[in-house]
Amino acid sequence: MGNKEDVIAKIRQAFRGNESPGDPYLQPYPAGYDLSDEIKAFKGILRWEDASSSLLDENPDAISFFSETGFRLFLPAYLIADLNNELTCVEPQFHLVYGFSDRFVTLPIAGVDTEKLIGKSEFVNPIQYGAMTWFDRFRFRLSVFPREEAQAIVAYLECKKSLDDSYALVVEEIDAALDLFWHDRAQNAPLKSNLKSHIEQQQSYVNGLLYKK
């Protein structure tokens, strides 16, 4: 699992060089929209290293409102701040493990305590997303991470599990996420070099179309 310092070093190495493609990509809306209130504090930040722990903690809803691009960009800042115990209002771990296990909670509905299923098998919103479950939703969102970054996330989750081993539910949720998604992602996801090659090939193709004589 590695100690905290080793895990932080692994995170820094895996996410090194990642930069923002521009503010419009930080949220899941078409370009031209103003940044939502939840993430506007991140406007103009090009490197995740420049997102301070105080910025992350003072804008606790941002991590839920980022697009996949924004989530991937700033996640390492969240993970490192969390391991350094610098966050009090944000739990980045939740966004990496939710949707991979089921549990029942008791909620008061119309004055009656009712058991409700949440997690992996729960529908996101059948009216808008049909049969999509939270398992489907989070697998899609988390597939943004290439292999090296997924390996760093596995190291973070293993470290968190050791730090929080007195909480059975935390361990259960982490283990489910590791077993159902992260271990495979860390072994089989495309490499960052694959992404770079694809971008270069696409750019070459577009240039060929634009400048073809």
Inside any domain, residue 17: yes
> Full-prediction pTM beyond 0.85?
yes
Inside any domain, residue 127: no
Q: What is the CA radius of gyration of the chain?
A: 19
Q: Is 190 strand, coil or helix?
A: coil
**Angle value at C-alpha 198, between 194 and 199, nearest 5 degrees:** 120
Inside any domain, residue 112: no
Inside any domain, residue 128: no
Judge residue 137's burial from the number of C-beta atoms within 10 Å of its C-beta, 0-12 exposed, 13-18 middle, 19 or more buried.
middle
- The answer to whether the beta carbons of residues 142 and 92 sit under 8 Å apart is no
Query: Given this model, what pLDDT does residue 106 score?
Result: 83
Inside any domain, residue 113: no
Inside any domain, residue 126: no
DSSP state of 45: -
173-176: which pairs have CB atoms within 8 A and are 24 or more residues apart? 173/97, 173/98, 173/100, 173/101, 174/93, 174/97, 176/97, 176/100, 176/101, 176/120
Each residue's pLDDT tens digit, 90-127: 999 999 999 999 888 888 887 888 888 888 999 999 99
User: What mean pLDDT is predicted for residues 50-70?
Assistant: 95
- In angstroms, rounded to a whole number, what is the distance separating the alpha carbons of residues 213 and 124? 50
Inside any domain, residue 38: yes
Inside any domain, residue 180: yes
Q: Is 16 strand, coil or helix?
A: coil
Q: Which residues pair with 181 in a beta bridge?
A: none
How many domains does the chain divide into? 1
Query: Given this model, what pLDDT does residue 116 score?
Result: 83
Domain, as residue range, for 34: 4-100+134-210
